[in-house]
């Protein structure tokens, strides 16, 4: 799959190429064009020109919904190509791409096509006050109009799923989109552009520019005065940099940022289910999902057994996938070394696996279980974004909540208990945007998704995304 820009309905490859590297074995398997400032300008200009046409006009919801369904059908028709591209870029297990990434991408477009039709708006009958001209009543009602040109900056960990999670509602609302995918995982963005071109959207409604972030395509796009809104998923530090760029033009932002997610395991939990769920929440995609658990708090009576079982499962894992890059692998390994220096006991993992095949040239690290660190340790407080968790005991419900909430982050949490009252009592007190009880990453696309504190601004999902990507306008008609 050749990565190309898609600007105003035209594929192009101008810009200095940089290598695309397989995280599985470290080999180069393609190149990506680095978008210049001129390429980004062209994309924003094309997007703004598309807004003068019928795409975002009032009453265009049926046509837009039909277009979204054509995009979903196009993803399904090229399912194997999307899977191949996602696996090549990310190194994740093929099963994950086949059951999560690509189906969810198509599902995002269908979900927002459906939501367009079920969305109510409010109206009010208003008495005309005595000081106003005329008498009788007025009718106030709300209509929504698109924001305009939306910059979507998507991450490398779930590139197709998370980009379409923003693109679909942005297009549904009648906006024009400029997507800047991660430089690590550009292939599915180019393939999506081909599907959208085949779906017959007007030229300029959807655009793709490739490249890096700071001082490059990402910064050129998010600081562009022609951009009307920014939707970003990624690291909190990058979000802060984008926010500074956006401030110059008072550009609205929607951010889903990092996390240091806690799990609370109570002594009355189904231990088998809690261990299984924690293995999934810590090690899926090698911990490279913003929702993954990195801090596990276990009630003391079951602490030793839980740690032993979790560590045994971690040692037995295979096929969990590499880190996305050599740089990220080195970052994760540096945290393993830091944890040791801070006094951690490495119960499982802590190093680099040896496979005896081509994978030894890739960017793999071992799934790792740590214990024994104080809550002030950097390895406990800072997001690592790898297959690692620290497990600590607690004695009371209040202590568990205090430990869970003592973090600059607040994205997601899990609670494991068979006590129904405790579940309903604890979950609302955890300072995160989403709390799973006796499960992990079970998602309904209609529900709000996002974080608090350093984990994000705003909410995505269902009507929450439609609210961000459109502007309410009040119309007042005196009767």
Query: Where are the domains positioned within the chain?
Result: 5-257+455-478, 261-437
CA distance linking residue 344 with residue 30, whole number of Å: 40
Catalytic residue among 256, 299, 366, 383: 256
Q: What average pLDDT does the segment 307-334 reach?
A: 95
261-437 has CATH 3.40.309.10 classification: yes
pLDDT tens per residue across span 155-188 = 999 999 999 999 999 999 999 999 999 999 999 9
Same CATH topology for 5-257+455-478 and 261-437?
A: no
pLDDT digits (tens, 9 = 90+) for 22-58: 999 999 999 999 999 999 999 999 999 999 999 999 9
Q: Taking all residues of the chain, what is their mean pLDDT, rounded to a whole number?
A: 96
pLDDT tens sequence across 59-93: 999 999 999 999 999 999 999 999 999 999 999 99
> What average pLDDT does this structure show over 365-373?
98
Indicate if 256 belongs to the active site. yes
5-257+455-478 folds as: Aldehyde Dehydrogenase; Chain A, domain 1 (3.40.605)
pLDDT of residue 129: 82
d(C-alpha 28, C-alpha 116), whole Å: 43
- Enumerate residues 6+ apart whose C-beta is below 8 A from 244: none
At 479 the pLDDT is 87
């Amino acid at each position: 799959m050749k990565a190309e820009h898609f600007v105003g309905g035209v594929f192009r490859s101008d810009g200095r190429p940089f290598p695309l590297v397989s995280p599985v074995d470290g080999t180069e398997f393609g190149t990506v064009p680095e978008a210049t400032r001129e390429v980004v300008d062209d994309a924003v200009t094309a997007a703004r020109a598309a807004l003068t046409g019928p795409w975002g006009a009032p009453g265009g919801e049926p046509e837009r919904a039909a277009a979204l369904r054509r995009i979903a059908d196009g993803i399904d028709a090229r399912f194997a190509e999307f899977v191949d591209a996602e696996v090549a870029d990310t190194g994740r297990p093929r099963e994950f791409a086949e059951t999560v990434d690509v189906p969810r991408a198509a599902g995002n477009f269908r979900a927002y096509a459906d939501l367009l039709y079920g969305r109510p708006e409010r109206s009010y009958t208003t008495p005309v006050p005595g000081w106003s001209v005329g008498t009788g009543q007025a009718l106030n009602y709300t209509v929504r109009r698109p924001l305009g040109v939306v910059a979507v900056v998507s991450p490398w960990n779930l590139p197709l799923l998370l980009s379409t999670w923003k693109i679909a509602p942005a297009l549904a609302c009648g906006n024009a989109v400029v997507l800047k995918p991660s430089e690590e995982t550009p292939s599915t963005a180019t393939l999506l552009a081909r599907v959208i071109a085949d779906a017959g959207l007007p030229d300029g409604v959807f655009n793709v520019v490739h490249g890096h972030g700071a001082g490059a395509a990402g910064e050129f796009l998010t600081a562009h005065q022609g951009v009307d809104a920014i939707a970003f998923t990624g690291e909190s530090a990058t979000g802060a940099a984008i926010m500074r760029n956006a401030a110059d033009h008072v550009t609205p932002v929607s951010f889903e940022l990092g996390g240091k997610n806690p799990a609370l395991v109570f002594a009355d939990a189904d231990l088998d289910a809690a261990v299984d769920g924690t293995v999934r929440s810590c090690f899926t995609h090698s911990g490279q999902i913003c929702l993954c658990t990195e801090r596990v708090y276990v009630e003391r009576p079951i602490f030793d057994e839980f740690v032993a079982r979790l560590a045994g499962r971690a040692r037995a894992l295979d096929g969990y996938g590499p880190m996305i890059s050599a740089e990220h692998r080195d970052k994760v390994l540096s945290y393993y070394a830091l944890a040791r220096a801070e006094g951690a006991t490495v119960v499982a993992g802590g190093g680099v696996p040896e496979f005896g095949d081509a994978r030894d040239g890739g960017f793999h690290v071992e799934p790792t279980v740590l214990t024994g660190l104080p809550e002030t340790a950097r390895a406990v407080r800072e997001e690592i974004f790898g297959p690692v968790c620290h497990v600590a005991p607690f004695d009371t419900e209040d202590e568990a909540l205090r430990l869970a909430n003592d973090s600059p982050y607040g994205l997601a949490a899990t609670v494991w208990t068979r006590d129904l009252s405790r579940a309903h009592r604890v979950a609302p007190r955890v300072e995160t945007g989403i709390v799973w009880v006796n499960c992990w990453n079970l998602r309904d696309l209609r529900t709000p998704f996002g974080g608090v504190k350093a984990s994000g601004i705003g909410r995505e999902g269902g009507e929450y995304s439609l609210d961000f990507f459109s502007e309410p306008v009040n119309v007042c008609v005196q009767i």
